[in-house]
Amino acid sequence: MIAQGTIIGHRYRIIDLIGTGGMAHVYRAVNLSSRKVVAIKVLKDEYRNDAEFLRRFEREARAVLHLSHENIVRAFDVGETEGLPYIVLEFVDGRTLKDIIDENGPMPSRIAVALVVQVLDALDAAHAAGIIHRDVKPQNVIVMQSGKVKLMDFGIAREVDANTVTFAGSTVLGSVHYLSPEQAKGLPVTEGSDLYSAGIMLYEMLTGRVPFDGDNSVSIALKHISDAPVPPIELSSKVSPALNDVILRALNKDVNRRYGAANEMSSHLRRALKEPTGDFARFIPTQKTQPQKKQQTQKKKAHGTLKIGLTVGVLIAALVGVFVVLRDVYQTESSDFEMVPTLVDRSVEESKLRATNFGFAFEIQDYENSDTVASGDVILQTPEGGTKAKRGSTIYGIVSLGPAAPKVPNLIGLSPDEARHTLEETGLVLGNVSYRISEAAIGYVCEQSLPPDTETTNGQVIDIVISASSETTFDMPHAMDLPLNLILDQLKLASFNNIFVRYAESNIVEDGVVYLQDPLPGTQVLPEMPVTLTVCGKPDYTFISDIAFNLTVESSGTKVMVAVQETYNGLAYYRILYEATLEKGDKVPVSFTATSETEGTQEVVLFSDGAVVKRQDFAFTAKAS
């Protein structure tokens, strides 16, 4: 076990133990660089020299690091601590699907399908990457408060083309209630094995029970091999005929008669909600009922299978016995446990007194900065309030140091007003604004007095330099609360030639009136600097065009703007059609429907961080009536 407060990998501080599985302990930890909470899965010490468990752990690391899907618990890092391998995983705050089923019983069909479809989406991504999970069960599905599902624990996952079996020597892989027939027989697994397990899980969600149960693991495994499940529609009248057919197809003993892919099963589940009486998923037997003599022969074969299964399954029964013993020990000791008081947001002195009153001790584990918890109060405690812990044990607390020293933000590429706003949000102050000729887009910050990420103090003054073509400046006119046409006339007289007009709804001024301007009045500006006017309302134009671009975005946070040039009283300006902040990527789509006051072909201009990157002609036509 790893002690609380231990730092592993030079960047992860262990907070507490949150779970223990068959081959690993799972800890909650904090990434000291990002301050984000993560989960760290560490191989148990007793398996450090076990080649099979080391291979399984390595397979999980390889599997999850190459899987990126919103319904799969993400992996960030792998490493080794004191000779034990570990995986750094996304910390998911939620409950297991098994806990939800146990506490609430059968679910409404729509909720059950909504959850299972997300599991199937995760399996579809894993299968596409060549990975079979092999242990799909409600205990490995986390349901977040938002309803999003996360599939976890790829500890026994294998590549699709690996020749794997369920019973390998003395090691039993998989959970018997959700085991596919081929796994129970010790045959190679396929994607269909995961879909069988997903079908079992859906069966349990809808009926509140698993289709196959028994006195021991061996008898359950044999039922997967030979017994037909009771149709879920017979256990719950709320299960529709179509949904019943989908489940029974997923639970077919013959993998070739199940669904061929996770997305196919997912599609049928969605369809079952729309067509509850449809027969699109119904399984039609290809053979007639066998004569009595053949049925007796089949029973003899099943009896032979039973003998083989009993021989193979002795170990499983022993494991069940160990579980029962551990459960009894836990129940015996439960009387020594007490409810843990909540200490979060309380001072250290108050926490010590409260812990003592409940029969516990309190110790400070560490200090951390916090923007939300007052200095000297507890940010986090282990164990958590409301859980149970052994009477007389210690509650460890992380205590707030108050807000961290602000870091200087990156201002390069921002307009003067954007730079001012960004600094104010950080607790810093905009100082001197100067201008110089540079290769950066004119009118945007090209230099700042302190580099980004520099730690400083609240109120620190930051000077900026704006890219310009000359250094002769004058005061920016006042544009707010005035009609747009009047402002455009003033800007024309002042020789401004880089004007942008944005339309947006507002309840503080009338339509056609400017209510925001960048730069602000009185700011030192140059005629070629970009001026953005935000006007109340939106133009009622009758011609439209579908605009589409594919962009290569070099860095996340890139600001993109699409505009069309219009003219008023001889002054050309850009009317903004679209604005967004994009993440890094190749062929990032930008698409929308634009409007215009004139029909025909017009040039549409694409700006990235203030610079023109593309010009393209689009045809504007009348709206369909």
Taking a C-beta distance cutoff of 8 angstroms, is the pair 437, 449 a contact?
A: no
Phi, psi of 425 (to 5 degrees): -65, -30
Sequence ranges of the domains in the chain: 1-91, 94-287, 340-400, 416-468, 477-622
Residues 11-44: pLDDT tens digits? 888 988 988 877 788 999 888 767 778 899 898 8
Give the pTM. Answer: 0.47
Taking a C-beta distance cutoff of 8 angstroms, is the pair 233, 246 a contact?
A: no
Residues 120-160: pLDDT tens digits? 999 999 898 888 888 899 999 999 876 789 998 875 444 44
Position 470 scores a pLDDT of: 64
In the numeric block, which tokens belong to residue 108?
Answer: 């409404």
Amino acid identity at 67: L
Phi, psi of 225 (to 5 degrees): -75, -40
Taking a C-beta distance cutoff of 8 angstroms, is the pair 200, 184 a contact?
A: no
Count of other CB atoms within 10 angstroms of residue 46: 9
| 377 DSSP assignment | B
- Torsion, Cα 141 144 148 151, to 10 degrees, reads -20
| 528 DSSP assignment | T
Residues 471-529: pLDDT tens digits? 667 778 888 889 999 999 989 888 888 999 999 887 778 899 998 888 888 777 878 88
Position 402 scores a pLDDT of: 73
Architecture of the structural domain at 340-400: 2-Layer Sandwich (3.30)
- Torsion, Cα 280 281 283 284, to 10 degrees, reads 10
∠ CA 460-463-464, nearest 5°, is 140
Could you tell me which CATH class the domain 477-622 is placed in?
A: alpha beta
Q: Is the pLDDT of residue 225 over 60?
A: yes
Structural Rg of the chain based on CA atoms: 32
Average pLDDT, the chain: 82
How far from 155 is each of 8, 383, 458, CA to CA, in Å?
21, 27, 48
For the residues 336-357, what does the mean pLDDT come to?
90
Phi, psi of 624 (to 5 degrees): -70, 135
- Fold identical between 340-400 and 416-468? yes
Residues 58-73: pLDDT tens digits? 766 766 777 788 899 8
Give residue for tokens 């059968």.
106
In the numeric block, which tokens belong to residue 496?
Answer: 């401004």
CA distance 220 to 197: 14
Architecture of the structural domain at 416-468: 2-Layer Sandwich (3.30)
In the numeric block, which tokens belong to residue 255?
Answer: 């993998």
Q: 361-368 and 394-400: which strand pairing?
A: parallel
- Tell me which fold the domain 1-91 belongs to: Phosphorylase Kinase; domain 1 (3.30.200)
With the C-alpha atoms ordered 175, 176, 177, 179, is the resulting torsion angle positive or negative? positive
In the numeric block, which tokens belong to residue 31?
Answer: 């990434």
Which segments of 469-557 are extended strands (E)? 474-475, 499-504, 514-518, 524-525, 531-536, 543-553
Active site residues: 135
- Tell me which fold the domain 94-287 belongs to: Transferase(Phosphotransferase); domain 1 (1.10.510)
**Distance, CA of 156 to chain centre:** 23
